[in-house]
């Protein structure tokens, strides 16, 4: 079976980066127990862009969609209620990929 990667690409003004990172840190544990979940990374831009990547890896597209439409939607709604104020991200788009090659480090 092929893994599925969903990358949410967020446009984040430089002055909002710390706030975005804090909001994700506060959500720790909200996705890890989800069925089919294989990994998460929040990637901060180093230079040349304002785009953060929210990288998630799933056992299949169906597991991602199940999480997105259930727990994911609920988590985002709850976050907005608990973290009033301006949004850290000014825009987002979803990029999705099937993993065709996954090379682990050698021993």
Largest CA distance in the chain: 47
Q: How many Cα atoms within 13 Å fall on the side-chain side of residue 103?
A: 1
Overall pTM surpassing 0.95 (yes/no): no
Tens-digit pLDDT profile for residues 91-107: 889 999 999 999 989 98
Q: Are 19 and 88 in contact (CB under 8 A)?
A: yes
Find where tokens 């597991």 sit: 63
pLDDT of residue 83: 55
- Which band of pLDDT confidence, cut at 50, 70 and 90, is reported for residue 77? low
The DSSP code for 15 is: G
Find where tokens 């003004």 sit: 13
Tens-digit pLDDT profile for residues 18-75: 999 998 898 878 889 999 999 999 999 999 999 999 999 999 999 999 999 987 766 6
Locate the domains of the chain by residue range: 4-98
CB-based contacts of 72, cutoff 8 Å, min separation 6:
31
Neighbours of 7 (CB within 10 A): 17
Using only C-alpha atoms, what is the Rg of the chain?
15
Measure Cα distances from 71 to 14, 15, 46 in Å: 29, 29, 31
Class of domain 4-98: alpha beta
């Amino acid at each position: 079976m092929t893994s599925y990667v969903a990358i949410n690409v967020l446009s984040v003004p430089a002055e909002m980066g710390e706030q975005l990172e804090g909001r994700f840190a506060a959500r720790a544990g909200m996705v890890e127990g989800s069925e089919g979940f294989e990994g998460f990374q929040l990637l901060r831009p180093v230079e040349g862009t304002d785009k953060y990547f929210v990288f998630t890896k799933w056992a299949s597209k169906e597991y991602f969609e199940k999480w997105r439409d259930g727990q994911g939607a609920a988590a985002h709604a709850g976050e907005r209620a608990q973290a009033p104020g301006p949004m850290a991200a000014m825009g987002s788009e979803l990029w999705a990929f099937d993993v065709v090659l996954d090379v682990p480090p050698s021993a």
